[in-house]
A and B are shown apart, each in its own frame.
Chain A
Amino acid sequence: MKTRRFIEDGWFHDFGHGLALTGGRCPACGRIYFPTKQVCPACFATDQEKIPLSHKGILHTFACSHMGPSGLPTPYPIGFIELPEGIKLFSLLTRCDPWDRVLKVGMEMEMVIETIRTDEDGNEIVGYKFRPSGEIPS
């Protein structure tokens, strides 16, 4: 039987408003990281506080890949998303057809949780993607 699983346990958590990406805030210096870290690379403090990261961010740049790892059909658009927390995320981009007309550097994007690709046994790996903000999700 085929299964669905998150790409990483611990990346997604419901803080009370549905699933959000989980960041880690350093209790000593306040820096925020994704994913959470065992210690703060800036000050070496432990015990990061788990916080929800913003669902919305800005498209820093994008491209469209015609090659990729197994279990991910090509071509597919990709980008870097800047979150207000100061984090840059690599992300697959979705619901932006045709990508070369829709996508613009600097536009607002919104996170969705979806299947990213399948593993070698056909199981679905679920993670985050970003789509242009403001549309009605289909």
Chain B
Amino acid sequence: MRAVAIAGIGGIRFGKYGDRSLRVLGEEACIKAIRDAGMKPRDIQAAYVGNLAQWEWGQGLLIGHSVLREIGITKIPITRVENGCATGSNAFHEAWYRVATGACDIALAFGVEQMTVASSEKILNVFTGRQHAERDGDMGNSAPGLFALMARRHMEEFGTTRNQMAMVAVKNRKYGARNPEAQLTRSVTVEEVLKDRMICDPLTLPQCCPRGDGAAAAVLVAAKIARKYSSVPISVAASVQVSGTYPDDRSYTCFDTDVRAAEAAYKMAGLGPGDIDLAEVHDCFSVAEIVHYEDLGFCRKGDGGRFVEEGHSGIGGKIPVNTSGGLLSKGHVIGATGISQIIELVRQLRGQAGGRQVEGARVALQHNGGGFIHTDTASCFIHILRK
């Protein structure tokens, strides 16, 4: 594998864009990323698009081709990927792999999704049916259910509190208020979080990420030509993908996929958790971020609640986490989420993060978990970026 760098990024603020087409959202992000890299569309040699549920909520087939032909990218290989909530990260990983193997020098990765055009019921019903053997969705489990169950077991085993979980939402909404691209821009207090509407006890509404529409794109290049396109190219020091093992015999307080992906990513980058200056992790629910601290090695198993309470995951702490505001502020725009996390880290490493800048940041970790089947995440991606 050869060294790969990020030469351009481009995203649009996540929000409600039901009046615009999926295609136009994708175009806008790709145009921004290609401009940011100082390229022309014809420079792109391969493209991967992340889009989760195009047929489920009425989006068209061949979304990658539809978007790219409008901006002058034709002929090259264009591939759509799907990997649950990590769909965008999967597109980025494939683009990285294509450049890292030497198959091409310049690849585009983008993700696009319209979540607000579908009803909650329709989205929930995607999790029902006979695809998964145990039929948990048909019996009433859901994404909030899975994480509420994890929260309860974590509280029981490690003494994690409702307050500590609320603090994740408070921290992320605080940073979201400083991010012009976040969907929710109002900060909240612990008391407000705990008093809000219950979604799945112990998780209240502000502890569950909102949905959204949007797009995010990145241009990856072989490191040897990166300076031609960017004055501050950001190296991809690690790009790792793993899948779940679905254990029945493990305590439901751990993302085994995180542990394995992190181990591989640290090894690939030649770094450890102590070298990470900041991270964007998959905070679909407040408790998830707490468990990710532990499984990514930011703190010991069981200490995640205290890690946030003591400020270690805030700006100025040991490892600032989700300075973008995270999914809890930006919203989860499935196909675009992973690349949106990468955009935040590139901005931070370039020193362009404004009022939420982590001073002197040189190494950053991106983590994106993809979907749940029964007792385990189906996929997990970790990228380590270096200035």
A70–B121 touching, CB < 8 Å: yes
B139–A67 touching, CB < 8 Å: no
B142–A60 touching, CB < 8 Å: no
Known: A61-B156, A66-B198, A86-B249. Is A117-B133 also a contact (CB below 8 A)?
A: no
Write out the residue numbers on chain A whose beta carbons fall within 8 Å of the beta carbon of B374.
Answer: 88, 90
Write out the residue numbers on chain A whose beta carbons fall within 8 Å of the beta carbon of B249.
Answer: 86, 88
Closest to A125 in B: B138
A68–B140 touching, CB < 8 Å: yes
For A60, A63, A68, A76, which residue has the most chain B Cβ atoms within 10 angstroms? A63
0/1 interface trace, chain A 3-40, chain B, CB 8 Å (1 if under) = 00001100000000000000000000000001101000
B135–A7 touching, CB < 8 Å: yes
Least Cβ distance of B205 to chain A in Å? 10
Write out the residue numbers on chain B whose beta carbons fall within 8 Å of the beta carbon of A89.
Answer: 134
- Which of B127, B139, B148, B252 is the one whose CB lies under 8 Å from A91? B139
A35–B134 touching, CB < 8 Å: yes
Interface of B is mostly: loop
0/1 interface trace, chain A 95-138, chain B, CB 8 Å (1 if under) = 00000100001000000000011000000010100000000000
Write out the residue numbers on chain B whose beta carbons fall within 8 Å of the beta carbon of A82.
Answer: 248
CA distance A125 to B139 in the complex (A): 9
- Which of A63, A105, A116, A125 is the one whose CB lies under 8 Å from B202? A63
A34–B134 touching, CB < 8 Å: yes
Q: Is B151 an interface residue (CB 8 A)?
A: yes
Closest to B134 in A: A90
Interface of A is mostly: strand
CA distance A75 to B149 in the complex (A): 15
> Which B residues between 242 and 264 are near A, CB-CB below 8 angstroms?
248-249, 251-252
Closest to A104 in B: B156
Closest to A87 in B: B248
B142–A67 touching, CB < 8 Å: yes
Write out the residue numbers on chain B whose beta carbons fall within 8 Å of the beta carbon of A68.
Answer: 124, 140, 142, 145
Q: Is B153 an interface residue (CB 8 A)?
A: yes
Q: Is B152 an interface residue (CB 8 A)?
A: yes
CA distance A86 to B144 in the complex (A): 25
Write out the residue numbers on chain A whose beta carbons fall within 8 Å of the beta carbon of B125.
Answer: 69-70
Q: Is B375 an interface residue (CB 8 A)?
A: yes
A63–B200 touching, CB < 8 Å: yes
B136–A61 touching, CB < 8 Å: no
CA distance A137 to B338 in the complex (A): 48
CA distance A7 to B137 in the complex (A): 12
CA distance A69 to B33 in the complex (A): 39
0/1 interface trace, chain B 120-134, chain A, CB 8 Å (1 if under) = 110011011010011
B141–A90 touching, CB < 8 Å: yes
Known: A69-B125, A88-B375. Is A63-B201 also a contact (CB below 8 A)?
A: yes
Q: Is B52 an interface residue (CB 8 A)?
A: no
B152–A105 touching, CB < 8 Å: yes
Least Cβ distance of A120 to chain B in Å? 10
CA distance A79 to B145 in the complex (A): 9
B149–A76 touching, CB < 8 Å: no
Least Cβ distance of B316 to chain A in Å? 34
CA distance A69 to B136 in the complex (A): 11
Least Cβ distance of B125 to chain A in Å? 6
Closest to B250 in A: A88
Q: Is B268 an interface residue (CB 8 A)?
A: no
Write out the residue numbers on chain B whose beta carbons fall within 8 Å of the beta carbon of A100.
Answer: 201
Q: Is B150 an interface residue (CB 8 A)?
A: yes
Q: Is A45 an interface residue (CB 8 A)?
A: no
CA distance A90 to B373 in the complex (A): 11
- Which of B120, B128, B141, B252 is the one whose CB lies under 8 Å from A60? B252
CA distance A87 to B133 in the complex (A): 13
CA distance A63 to B202 in the complex (A): 7
CA distance A68 to B123 in the complex (A): 11
B136–A90 touching, CB < 8 Å: yes
CA distance A7 to B145 in the complex (A): 20
Least Cβ distance of B243 to chain A in Å? 13
A61–B252 touching, CB < 8 Å: yes
Least Cβ distance of B210 to chain A in Å? 14
Write out the residue numbers on chain A whose beta carbons fall within 8 Å of the beta carbon of B71.
Answer: none
Write the residues of chain A forming the contact surface with B, with a CB cutoff of 8 angstroms. 7-8, 34-35, 37, 60-70, 72, 75-76, 78-80, 82, 86-92, 100, 105, 116-117, 125, 127
